[in-house]
Structures are given as C-alpha cells and as structure tokens.
Amino acid sequence: MAEKTSDRTEEVAEYYDGVGELVEVVGGNLHLGYWDDDQDDTPFLEAMSRLTWMVAERLALRPGERLLDVGCGVAEPAMRLVERLGISVSGITVSRWEVQQATADVARAGLSGKISISWADAAALPFSNEEFDAALAFDSVPNSPDKQKWFGEIFRVLRPGGRVVYSEYPAIADMTAAQREVLRANTVPDPPTSMDEAVAPAVSAGFEVLEGLDCSDRVRRFYTAFLQRFADQRADLSAAYGKDRIDAFESGITQMFELCREKIGYYLIVCRKPSGVGSTTI
C-alpha cells in the first residue's frame, strides 16, 4: 500500500533532525562535491563548494533578486550564494533542528536581513504565486515522496522566466529489493533511472529544460572521501556526541554510501518557467 506523503515527509524530518550537529563534518554542506577528473586533487570541502558555484552560475540571478531554497539544510549554500550573488533567500526545510541551527548560523554571519529560514513542506509551499525570481533544490528532490507535487508548487511560486536548478540521484545499475530499502531508509525513496525520468516531474509541471548535466563520474569520489573524513574524526566526534550515536550513524551512512558509490549517479538540471505563463493555482 502506498504510504501517505505526510508520513514519508515526517521520516525525512526525523532523519535530518537525527543527523543534527554531525553536519559539522561536512562544513555545514549537505550535498556532494565535484572533482574535474581523476587527477584533480581538490580538497574535500573545496569540492563541495565547487558544486555550490556550479549551481550559482546556473541560477542566472541578478543582485537584489529573490531565491527560494527548497530543502536548505543549515543554509550553508544559501549564505555563500547571498555573499556571491547579492540576492536574498527564503530557505525552507522540514527539519526543526535545521530551522533552529540555520537561523542561528545566518544571524551569526550577519545575514538575517538577507536570508529567512522557515519550516515548510515543499509539497505545500507557504508562498504566493510568482513570488520568487528563481528556485534551488540542492540535493533535496531525491528526498521527495511526490516530485510532481514539489514541481507544481515550485512552478506556482516562480515568476514567468524564472529558473529552477535541482539535482537528482539516478539509479545507474539494477538494485535488489534490499538495496532499494537501504536507499529508502536513507531518504531516497524513488530514484529516476534516466535523465528523461529525472526531468519528467518538472516538465509535466510546465517547465522547459535548459540543461541536464550528468556529473556521475565527477562526484563519485565524494562517498569514499566522506567515509575517510568521518573515520579520521571518529574519536573527537564520539567524545563530543557519544560513542553509540557516532557508531550508529557511521554504520548507516557506510552502508548507504557504499551502495551510492556503486549504483547511484548525479544529475544537475536547469529548467525555466516559460515567459508569459502565469500561475493559476493557489
């Protein structure tokens, strides 16, 4: 029987609440990193920032414009985008821990006038039609139990001509039922199996596709690098947050990332709401 959207979203919220402070391991970023080729020796955190800059370029925003960040984590990408692009951002997440932490981090950075963070479900956005110049869903669409609803909502709140930039985690090899369950338990319920499938919910919401970039081979190193980084910090993390919590997290994330390294790719997708198309739903 199909699960109710709200139950799945609640599970996602619990997952990110549970990760909580461990986001410090990745410098506040909850997305992958990008390396140009196998010889590229860019350090881990820099490779994560590089993916943020790739997203920034594709948003095509001008200073003063407004961005909706769907699934903003602890607002690390939002803060970097505000500094680089001179925009303002409304970030939403379903994790109450992230809302608190992101709000505190944004205030500490002196960016409260530019970034507001709130609890909201991407399937029911608490914003008016055509309120935003662009939208970003950076490694959050894979969490969605109803991508059609998410893109319908993003389409509604974007102005005509506005872009949405998002990433997807496609399945690039066959998976067993047990492996699919590992993905689902780690907030990835429904990976697409091709670029066509990855853009389909955006296209049926009315978006036109400007770019579909397959970065699978350029991000794969992230999984091994993360697990190494976590192992290097294990003793300090155990002292700070308790050995049981760290052991449980490490065992779950190792199973997930070993599977992702083998069977999950990465797409960066840019779409535009056609000019001259209004939003009719509320």
Ligand X SMILES: C[S@@+](CC[C@H](N)C(=O)[O-])C[C@H]1O[C@@H](n2cnc3c(N)ncnc32)[C@H](O)[C@@H]1O
Q: Which amino acid is at 11?
A: E
Minimum distance from CB of 69 to ligand X (Å)? 7
Per CB under 6 A, the list member of 49, 88, 90, 95 interacting with ligand X is 95
Per CB under 6 A, the list member of 47, 56, 82, 92 interacting with ligand X is 92
Q: Name the percent of the chain in helix, strand, coil, to the closest 5.
A: 50, 15, 35
Task: State the sign of the Cα–Cα–Cα–Cα dihedral 198, 201, 204, 205.
Answer: negative
149 binds ligand X (CB under 6 A): no
Task: State the sign of the Cα–Cα–Cα–Cα dihedral 14, 121, 184, 163.
Answer: negative
12 binds ligand X (CB under 6 A): yes
Pairing of strands 88-93, 115-119: parallel
Quick one: which segment of 79-87, 109-117, 135-143, 197-205 binds ligand X (CB under 6 A)? Answer: 135-143
Token couple for 248: 């449980």
Quick one: which segment of 139-147, 171-179, 189-197, 251-259 binds ligand X (CB under 6 A)? Answer: 139-147
Token couple for 266: 């990465």
Between CA 21 and CA 46 the distance in angstroms is 20
Per CB under 6 A, the list member of 61, 76, 82, 246 interacting with ligand X is 76
Per CB under 6 A, the list member of 49, 90, 93, 279 interacting with ligand X is 93
153 binds ligand X (CB under 6 A): no
- Going by C-alpha positions, the residue among 88, 137, 92 that lies closest to residue 115 is 88
79 binds ligand X (CB under 6 A): no
Per CB under 6 A, the list member of 72, 82, 157, 199 interacting with ligand X is 72
- Contact mark string toward ligand X, 170..209, x via CB under 6 A: ----------------------------------------
Between CA 21 and CA 201 the distance in angstroms is 33
Minimum distance from CB of 1 to ligand X (Å)? 21
Check if the beta carbon of residue 136 is closer than 8 Å to that of residue 67.
yes
- Contact mark string toward ligand X, 21..40, x via CB under 6 A: --------xxx---------
